Structure 1
């Protein structure tokens, strides 16, 4: 049964549409990049982008390079460090802000002043204030997910119908029971959404932070994270490797977000019935 289910999901219409869309995109990309060679004219925007076949050749050459995989490892480690720190601090903070009006009145104004500041604006300050570049990059990555997680948690908790609280209290539930059986389950979908969005932002932030800070002390372009890998490829004029780095970030971000969604669906099984 499991094999039949796997085949059914693998060859479902949605999967086939996705595969066809990717192949069409790659074909148009190849056509646009090779247009000057094949037809004698260069279309705007895409005409100077390396062709997918050239990118694939460069990618194949990098698969045996330990530095390329070290870049994956460093960027992933920085993303996970910042992301999990944001979850450990952001989820309890958001829940406490939602259930305690006094605490919310104290914290929320400062939170709202700091929230619009882009995480990348913190890069120069974090490099100055934190003792190592690794900590500064992790801090900026933390900021990328922190505000998104807190806002989603607060919004999810405040959107709970007040009648649920009244029903629980009328049956003699304590505040801890209300929090455990009403607030937390009702907020879980918002936590999952905020975490998935925050994960995407952390990948955007860590790449830019690695570019600006020099990859956290990496001595080579392939040893300072994927962001520094892209920047070093640009400086070296290896445009195929730039695209390889960009696609690598997309794959890494997709894997992380998909794992979070699967984990979220495990903790919120009631949403599958909708």
Structure 2
């Protein structure tokens, strides 16, 4: 019994090369600041940033509530984008009439940067929170729609014809051929979407106001407190990294046939 459990459970391997790279990055940062290398003169050293974090933020409830606020906005915007984007991508790929009507509109709206929607979202939505969530939604929505649409359109007609010749119904073709073919593209859309969503939410918090990691970084810039700016930047990086870990876990559950190396 214990042997079976041990064989199924695998501890994640420690990436020592990555650890060395991170240590080397902070060491280079420290020495560049201390040596006064151009461009680093006005930047705080890593130990100054750490000291500011330990004295002002580690026990600061407002700082951790900024984490929660940013995570909630990213989560809501990301989930809404998946719930609406995946069915829309499937319809665009499978319904020719709908594709001819809706796809040109999507192609016009898709190149618009998410931040260009900020003024409209502030005017349209009644609260700042809803406007920021909407911007997060926009950041991930078009990515997932286009990925799913392209995946459906790339399915070979021979596969569908073969299934039809064997007596498969439209529902069976959708479940057994289209959905498995689309899942890898959904996974790619999720990976790209979560990264864009974090980029967008930070900028939206800076512009729209409210709390959050983006607002924390902006306030550090306005007050000319470099250590606060760097704390905000590192916090954003860690938050995005944690979100990517969750998305990677979901991808593995969605595609169990992939070999994990």
TM bucket, shorter chain: over 0.9
In structure 2, distance between residues paired with 1:87 and 1:273: 25
CA RMSD of aligned residues (A): 1.6
**Aligned equivalents of 1:174, 1:225: Cα separation in 2:** 50
- Corresponding residue of 1:43: 37
Partner of 2:27: 27
Q: SS of 1:167's equivalent? A: helix
Q: Which residue of the partner structure matches residue 226 of structure 1?
A: 213
* Kept after mapping to 2: 8 A contact 1:234/1:242: yes
1:82 aligns with 77
Question: How many correspondences in the alignment?
Answer: 255
Q: Which residue of 2 aligns with 1:237?
A: 224
Residues 273 and 238 (structure 1 numbering): CA distance in 2 closer, same or farther, change over 3 Å?
A: closer
User: Structure 1 residue 3: deviation in Å?
Assistant: 11
Equivalent of residue 201 in structure 2, options 203, 206, 216: 206
Superposition deviation, residue 60 in structure 1 = 1.8
Structure 2 unaligned spans of 5+: 1-5
Counterpart Cα distance in 2 of 1:2 and 1:170:
43
Would you say the 8 A contact 1:95–1:154 is kept in 2?
yes
Report how far residue 4 of structure 1 moved.
8.8
After the TM superposition, list the runs of 4 or more consecutive aligned residues in structure 1 that deviate by more than 6 angstroms. none
TM-score normalised according to structure 1 size:
0.89
Pick closer, same or farther for the CA change 1:161–1:66 going to 2, 3 Å. Answer: same
Quote the offset at 1:10 in angstroms: 2.9
Report the CA distance shift for 1:71/1:273 in structure 2 as closer, same or farther (over 3 A). closer
Of residues 35, 53, 57, the one that matches 1:59 is 53
- 1:84-109: CA deviations, max 9, x gaps? 11011000000110111111111000
Q: 1:46 to 1:161 in 2, by over 3 A?
A: farther
1:90 & 1:156 partners in 2: Cα distance? 13
Superposed CA deviations along residues 138-185 of structure 1, whole A, max 9, x for unmatched, are 111100000111111111222222222122111111111101111011
| Inter-partner Cα distance in structure 2 for 1:84 and 1:48 | 40
Q: Secondary structure at the match of 1:34?
A: helix
> What 5-or-longer segments of structure 1 have no aligned partner?
36-41, 216-223
**Aligned-residue offset at 1:47:** 3.1
